Structure 1
Amino acid sequence: MRLALAAAFATALGLASPALAQTPPAPRQPTISVMGTGEAELKPDFATILVSVETRGDTVTQASNANRAGTERVLARIQGLGIKKEDIQTANFQVFQTPPQIGPDGKEIKQPKFSATHRLRVKTRNIDGVGQLAGEILASGDMTFQSVSFGLDRQEEGGDQAREAAVRDAKRQAEVYANAAGVTLGRLVEIRDGSAQPVEPYADMRMEMRAAKSAESVPLVPPATIRYTANVQLVWELAQKP
């Protein structure tokens, strides 16, 4: 009798276990996901002018030696304008075969076989005087003015301020949605970082001036601020209003 009762009890447990395993899951907590955007504007700390020294020669050595001599004259002139030596850096240097040129008569124009180009970055903190500096560079026959850009000493500061603004924007939107739906924001459960960057690298202005014989001052208008943008996605749980 005892064996029969034990067997019956075990059978009952075996039949009950599948039912216990099929307990319905807890209801999923409702959430809201919002994308926020933000901006930050900071005054530029410095300007960078890109100039180039271009020379030619019948051999690589001739083109390179001529470029070295021209670069030395350029460095002396730029430093004479009040730019510190450590604020002048090489952007790149290259020597290449001069591409052929065909004259109006259809014949190839004779010219040196090799060209050398040395590009230099010139940094100045005199933002308001950058047009005067560009004009002095243009007046030199040894270098070509190529572009100007503006930047920040601490670039991450602009991105961080834009991110903070993006979070505030996302929270504002989420609160508007929740209030309209008759619920309230609960626990913040997820943050998905987007991008944070200047609208254009370093500046809102870039210019090209490859051919100019002389100029006392270039009419450059530095940007008052450099604008950064950022976006972020935040997810909150929703709760009923008390």
Structure 2
Amino acid sequence: MMRTFTTMRLALAAAFAIGLASAAHAQTPAARQPTISVTGTGEAELKPDFATIHVSVETTGDTVAQASSANRAGTERVLARIQGLGIGKDDIQTANFQVFQTPPRLGPDGREIKVPKFSANHQLRIKTRNIDGVGQLAGEILASGDMTFQSVSFGLDRQEEGGDKAREAAVRDARRQAEVYAGAAGVALGRLIEIRDGSAQPFEPQPMMRTQMAFKAADSIPLVPPATIRYTANVQLVWELAERP
């Protein structure tokens, strides 16, 4: 009986030792696969499809009603002139309309100058596909003297195409960098394990002007349209590293 009890104790001790060894082995972290993380940047350039001229009609009055009524009349004259230049109704849109109190003005002697109490501002967007003639069109629009020319911008019908091409270029740039790093370190690229999307943004030069000068019908505003609109994008890619074959 004593021998049987001793044998059982030895068996239990051995089993306990094996269990501890197995637990220790299970808690040992697996060797981490080395990785490389690279940020790539890319660009794409596309020719603009249209130009948008931004103008405003500004009027004043001693009451909100007077300022708004004067603005409505001025806007009607402006719309008639713009449409007379061959711009369709669908290509003219209201960007913003607001009526606000006119801030006080002081003369050279420091005394307040009497001005109408309220101002109304109606901002319009005028779209044209005649990119090369945008300066001439802007001059003809302003010939009436009823508008303030604010700015002109250029855009694309296919906005997503520029962003996608820039993203493709960013991925190629990231892979090129990763291959250079891996080659210099004497290893190879393994699986692509992560893609972190960056941003794709268009960059377009926008000539900014503001004028209330009187223009003759034949005058042209000196605007130089951009040859292309440039999109930029960035992306972060992560690869596993492997031994060279």
The question of whether the paired residues in 2 share the 8 Å contact of 1:137 and 1:145 is answered with no
Stretch of structure 1 that moved more, 151-160 or 64-73: 151-160
* Distance across 2 between alignment mates of 1:232 and 1:46: 29
Q: Give the C-alpha shift of residue 66 in structure 1.
A: 0.6
Q: Give the C-alpha shift of residue 65 in structure 1.
A: 0.5
Partner of 1:10: 12
Partner of 2:213: 212
The question of whether the paired residues in 2 share the 8 Å contact of 1:137 and 1:144 is answered with no
* Distance across 1 between alignment mates of 2:236 and 2:132: 39
Superimposed CA distance per residue, residues 7-39 of structure 1 (whole angstroms, 9 cap, x where no aligned partner) = 432222112212211123332111111111100
* Distance across 2 between alignment mates of 1:165 and 1:111: 57
Partner of 2:242: 239
Superimposed CA distance per residue, residues 148-191 of structure 1 (whole angstroms, 9 cap, x where no aligned partner) = 00011121211111010000000011111111211111100111
TM-score, length-scaled by structure 2: 0.93
Partner of 2:43: 39
Partner of 2:71: 67
The one-letter code of the counterpart of 1:20 is S
Stretch of structure 1 that moved more, 60-69 or 97-106: 97-106
The one-letter code of the counterpart of 1:158 is G
Which runs of at least 4 in structure 1 moved beyond 4 Å after TM superposition?
1-4
* Distance across 2 between alignment mates of 1:105 and 1:232: 60
**SS of equivalent to 1:69:** helix
Report % sequence identity: 76
Correspondence 1:145-224 to 2 at 5 A: 145-199=149-203, 203-214=204-215, 216-224=219-227
Correspondence 1:95-134 to 2 at 5 A: 95-134=99-138
The question of whether the paired residues in 2 share the 8 Å contact of 1:186 and 1:238 is answered with yes
RMSD: 1.4
Alignment partner of 2:33 out of 29, 33, 54: 29
* Distance across 1 between alignment mates of 2:132 and 2:107: 44
The question of whether the paired residues in 2 share the 8 Å contact of 1:138 and 1:213 is answered with yes
The question of whether the paired residues in 1 share the 8 Å contact of 2:207 and 2:223 is answered with no
TM-score, length-scaled by structure 1: 0.94
Partner of 1:227: 230
Superimposed CA distance per residue, residues 116-151 of structure 1 (whole angstroms, 9 cap, x where no aligned partner) = 000001111111110011101221211111100001
**SS of equivalent to 1:92:** strand
The question of whether the paired residues in 2 share the 8 Å contact of 1:47 and 1:125 is answered with yes
Structure 1: segments with no counterpart, 5+ residues: none
* Distance across 2 between alignment mates of 1:213 and 1:117: 19
The one-letter code of the counterpart of 1:197 is Q
Structure 2: segments with no counterpart, 5+ residues: none
